[in-house]
Structure 1
């Protein structure tokens, strides 16, 4: 915005309304937003629970009455001086006239300075009871799509009053953006483009938040690319979004790429050499044989193993929390429910209403681990609603609409859970415990001490008879077809596991300030999941059949930088368990896990407490958190050491009865040996150039052939085509 225009708006009262006797400064509607805008009540400053320099404000002004008392009554009332407002410590420190650890936050004579000074001069009044309540705030534009050379209008924010009127609060609003690599925004609401992409502008006034999407378009392509044809709603939603942001989708992956990718994503393992040969030589049209392969994968027992592992990660299947026997029985129950394809709503209901001894009634282990109502509320919200409530435990959520009252009203659903010892009592790691639900007990708000009645998140307060388990009432609401969270959170996780990134990312952080990258896709999948009666396999099948899932990982010129809109397949490192199982599958030498028979795979391991150097190096989670972030996905030096010289690889290459020994004992010709090794590791046939290169490595005297073959297989195992899903 031109400087003259901005000054004119300030002078005319558009950004900062002029103060009059009839229109006195409001503490909650003007002073608190100014403190928020200046950063005074943020977590890094006086909004921290202990404050700074003996001065504490509520975080982002969630408790205005407490803040008013702090400013006007504490520190011998030195912070405000109505007789000499300019001498008030609040203004003296903010302007740097008195040493201030936070530096200069206020300019003398600025609009923010005048708001604070005028409020102090008026005697720091408490707001009148007749002040209009504000129901919401809105940014003037709902969305913007801008060409590279387009002028960017300044943001303007309106407060909507309960009586239907509205007021301009732009000058009292704190602005931010969801991705500061795409754009930046000043506290005057002036947005600056940094590069092409989509960004959410976040406006915060008092305890209210609103967002607006801004799409900064890249230049129009010099030569338009062909419009892809969508044959299903998934592709239609993705292609429409890609067209909107001017990104060309990549083409279809090869049959070999599809075979490897889908097998890893659905059952967690590599296809065998025999399966690869059969699939690649099948003359059936590609789409038909891919559909058949998807159907076959969904019916294999390894599907239950792999998806049970994913659920065990999130549900805390760890002997530290549920006992050794408890962890094994808990995992077995999860696997059995996945194998039976129990609908997701039924599965979650069984968990949320579980009680009894956790050995004989395994889902009770869920509550055995979560020992207080706050832990239960946070994990249940994150797991099944896709909402992170942790920030609202002590104060209103700084990045979402949830209040501290919302948090503790949710916790009240899970206050009536207690524990007693079960019939087995050996030692701490093998102790059975009974989860039971007494008919009395309330959860009290930590700030007010008042008993909190249960209230649905973002919904009404139900009437619950004392004889009814509150958890069952919550489960009814959660799994209802019209629940605004459950289906969206569930399909977002499924999409994440299949495509490597959630439509909302992080996958368990659904909020207005973290919007979905393809909103129409998330809407469709959620509606379809409800229509399918929460059938997990049916949902997975639809996603796997889409061209979006079957896109190649090779980028086009326009989508090389795209990490958001699913224009091409993501390259990602195999999971820890997948990788160890793949090494054992290729080498034909199984891993022996302590306490389990030979042949049990890493994916099948029930207990997150198990120690294993290879798995730990590649990020296997301990199953101590509900967050997907507990699983490591980054490449590290420790991983390189494991692959280059670790025993998990080296001992298997040298094993006297392993797969390599069997190939060598069969006296295979060089070309045939190379073909077997490449098929087994890379799930495809070698190219002529690769065959020639690897054959040269095998041109050694007979007494060195074993070592040369080990070197070739080692190089294949350390190649990105083996280590990554693509």
Structure 2
């Protein structure tokens, strides 16, 4: 008797375990198609006073743009619907569209609360810190891996992420990067300096000219590096004061570079400050001369009692040096809207004319402790951000230049990948998901970006999509793997299994992929297709069509 009982009991136990896992999985999957669960429990409470405290700034910003539109005689586009605004927030803050789970939760709220709740959730999400740490890293140290051993890009990204997680004031981040010392592994901010170790004229030491270039572009929003080889003869770099403006000179750039000459590298200590004089041979000069450190404008803000690099850091983040705050505002604006206030993002004229709203945002940014999350809230709450990209009138270049409608821009490669992967899951792919899910997302996203083409430091490049990129979407593994029948992972299969009728199937597919409800015509077209033939295959085909639509690849 025992001979056959043992295998039987073992078999029953295995099938029982399989059934339990299966029921749990199906319950997890089906929950995303039904009524919204208590997903809001994951989100840290946001005090109502925080939203109210930005209203005066938002009102000032809106009034400034209203005057701008009136003076230019352009009519602004109407306000976008909540689904459009929430999708653009998700794309810019976490790098992907919203999940069905998130859309269902937002639908359960009163309509007037949806965009605010969506913003609160996204800013409290760890995906925001992950995504923005990478985007900011590109502006600080570039997109390349840099010199082997002495540069650890991942450590630097993690450091930026930690600063965002702790809501560290942006000016403190700047000061730590400029004055960093120690080993690149122990003090990750040191990587801001060591990334240049393989490009300087002095072997084994930081490249002071490259650091000056990066500093001026990333932290001042100015292309002072255009002065590296010769004086400004075209009026592209204006320095001095507003009342006594002057053209930039070679000395301006190399005197800025001289602040980094004291940052010396050795393999045991990493970066440490040592007395060292920077020398350079200027154009048409007979020999190299010692170059003293000197800032290119507002010299009165320099505290000469501080060590050399601290002088630069203190000057750069001084409340009266508005250029640093303007640069931060311009970059955050560009990250949120896909287009900077100035083109390019790192070419803000010191003495103007400045875009509308820039100084109001910069003043508020400094007055409230260089708080990045507050700056994001102000911009997202503004009329400009919440405008539609379409209008019931002819849209001209004048409307686009005046910010009278939300700019339509292509998604970045990682946003395309993130949107496709998230659209194929009913639940939100966040830090609460399984490790295997997160690993799969990272692997698939990296592989897609490698094949699609990474724009590198050209963060806001508006080049058109290439034939190769379109073919990758049409025929590549990412879309095909996420639209084929898979009852465990793929949302299109879940929809076919759990949607109670064809109308719900079409509605859910649109919410998952495009984060909006289908139009009446779209609904009728796909419902008819689902009713005519193989329903499961028709849903997979619908998913494939939506993932390859132009709408998915753009921010509107």
TM-score (norm 1): 0.60
CA distance in 2, matches of 1:601, 1:349: 34
Secondary structure at the counterpart of residue 234 of structure 1: helix
Q: Which residue of 2 aligns with 1:299?
A: 124
**Hey, what's the Cα distance between the residues in 2 that align with 1:491 and 1:294?**
18
Partner of residue 394, structure 1: 229
- SS of structure 1 residue aligned to 2:251: helix
Question: Does structure 2 retain, via aligned residues, the 8 Å contact 1:349–1:475?
Answer: yes
More helix by share: 2
Are residues 602 and 552 of structure 1, via their aligned partners in 2, closer, same or farther at CA, if it must alter by over 3 Å?
Answer: farther
Q: For residue 665 of structure 1, what is the aligned residue in structure 2? A: 497
Q: Which moved more, 1:289-298 or 1:455-464?
A: 455-464
Q: Give me the whole-angstrom Cα distance separating, in 2, the residues matched to 1:722 and 1:713.
A: 11
What is the SS of the residue equivalent to 1:653? Answer: coil
Cα distance in 1 for partners of 2:290, 2:151 equals 37
Residue 614 of structure 1 is aligned with which of 433, 443, 448? 448
Q: 2:317 corresponds to which residue?
A: 479
TM-score by length of 2: 0.77
- Helix, strand or coil: the match of 1:232? helix
Say which structure, 1 or 2, has more relative contact order (CA 8 Å, 6+ apart).
Answer: 2
Q: CA deviation at 1:551?
A: 0.8
Deviations, residues 490-517 of structure 1 (Å, cap 9, x unaligned)? 1111111112222222110112698434
By how many angstroms is 1:270 displaced? Answer: 1.7
Residue 584 of structure 1 corresponds to 421
Would you say the 8 A contact 1:496–1:502 is kept in 2? yes
| Cα separation, partners in 2 of 1:696 and 1:494, compared to 1, 3 Å | same
Whole-Å Cα distance in 2 between the matches of residues 419 and 552 of structure 1? Answer: 52
Q: What is the match of residue 267 of structure 1?
A: 94
Q: Residues 523, 635 of structure 1: CA spacing in aligned structure 2 closer, same or farther, 3 A cutoff?
A: same
Unpaired segments of 5 or more residues in structure 2? Answer: 1-56, 197-205, 238-246
Contact 1:572–1:724 (Cα < 8 Å) also in 2 = yes
Q: Structure 1 stretches of 5 or more lacking a match?
A: 1-229, 423-432
CA distance in 2: counterparts of 1:603 and 1:456, whole angstroms: 45
**Distance in 2, Cα, partners of 1:546 & 1:337:** 26
In structure 2, the CA distance between the partners of 1:611 and 1:583, relative to structure 1 (3 Å rule), is closer
Q: Which residue number in structure 2 is paired with residue 710 of structure 1?
A: 540
Match among 138, 151, 159 for residue 313 of structure 1: 138
> Structure 2 CA distance, aligned partners of 1:542 and 1:553?
20
CA distance in 2, matches of 1:313, 1:231: 29
Using the TM superposition, give the Cα deviation of residue 709 of structure 1 relative to its aligned residue in structure 2, in angstroms: 2.1
**Cα offset, 1:525, TM superposition:** 1.0
Other-structure match for 1:5: none
Residues 129-278 of structure 1: pairs in structure 2 closer than 5 A? 232-278=59-105
CA distance in structure 2 between the partners assigned to 1:321 and 1:601 by the alignment:
27
Alpha carbons 1:670, 1:698 under 8 Å: kept: yes
Hey, what's the Cα distance between the residues in 1 that align with 2:551 and 2:454?
Answer: 21
After TM superposition, the structure 1 = structure 2 runs for residues 546-695 of structure 1, keeping only pairs within 5 Å, are 546-557=382-393, 559-561=395-397, 562-588=399-425, 598-600=436-438, 612=446, 614-616=448-450, 618-622=452-456, 625=457, 628=459, 634-654=464-484, 656=486, 657=488, 658-666=490-498, 668-695=500-527
| Aligned length, in residue pairs | 467
The SS at the match of 2:266 is strand
Pick from 291, 307, 316: which aligns with 1:452?
Answer: 291
Asked if 1:533 corresponds to 2:369, the answer is yes
1:334 and 1:364 map into 2 onto residues whose CA distance is 12
Find 1:501's aligned residue among 336, 339, 343. Answer: 339
Q: Post-superposition shift, 1:261?
A: 1.6
Match of residue 419, structure 1, among 243, 251, 265: 265
Asked if 1:279 is matched to 2:106, the reply is yes
Please say which of residues 435-444 and 566-575 is displaced more in the overlay. 435-444
Asked if structure 1 preserves the Cα contact closer than 8 Å seen for 2:151 and 2:184, the reply is: no
What is the distance in 1 between the residues matched to 2:91 and 2:248?
A: 38
Deviation at 1:653, TM superposition (A): 1.3
Q: Which residue is 2:155 aligned to?
A: 329
1:292 to partner: Cα distance? 3.3
Cα separation, 2, equivalents of 1:276 and 1:334: 30
Deviation by residue 1:427-460 (Cα, 9 ceiling, x = unmatched): xxxxxx8222212333334444221111111233
Q: Which residue of 2 aligns with 1:128?
A: none
State how far apart, in whole Å, the 1-side matches of 2:441 and 2:354 are.
Answer: 31
Distance 1:483 1:231, change over 3 A: closer
Q: Hey, what does 2:164 align to over in structure 1?
A: 338
Task: Write the distance in 2 (CA, Å) between the matches of 1:599 and 1:554.
Answer: 37
- Cα-Cα RMSD: 2.9
| 8 Å CA contact 1:553, 1:571 repeated in 2 | yes
CA-to-aligned-CA distance 1:595-651 (integer Å, 9 cap, x gap): x9643479979xxxx9955314544244xx5x645x675321121111111111112
CA–CA distance in 1 between the matches of 2:396 and 2:146?
44
How far off is 1:542 after superposition?
1.0
Quote the Cα distance in structure 2 between the aligned partners of 1:580 and 1:349.
34
What is the alpha-carbon distance in structure 1 between the residues aligned to residue 393 and residue 525 of structure 2? 30
In 2, are the aligned partners of 1:621 and 1:632 still within 8 Å (CA)? Answer: no
Aligned to 2:36: none
Equivalent residues of 1:408, 1:445 under 8 A apart = no
- Helix, strand or coil: the match of 2:518? coil
Secondary structure of 1:418's aligned partner? strand
Q: Report the alpha carbon displacement of residue 420 of structure 1 after superposing the two structures with TM.
A: 2.1
How far off its partner does 1:568 sit? 0.6
Is this contact kept in 2: 1:618–1:632, CA < 8 A?
no
Counterpart position of 1:349? 175
Give yes or no for contact 2:140–2:214 (8 Å, CA) kept in 1. Answer: no
Structure with higher Rg: it is 1
Q: Is the 8 A contact 1:305 1:604 kept in 2?
A: no
The equivalent of 2:528 in structure 1 is 696
Output one character per residue of 1:108-146: Cα deviation in whole Å (capped at 9) or x when no partner.
xxxxxxxxxxxxxxxxxxxxxxxxxxxxxxxxxxxxxxx
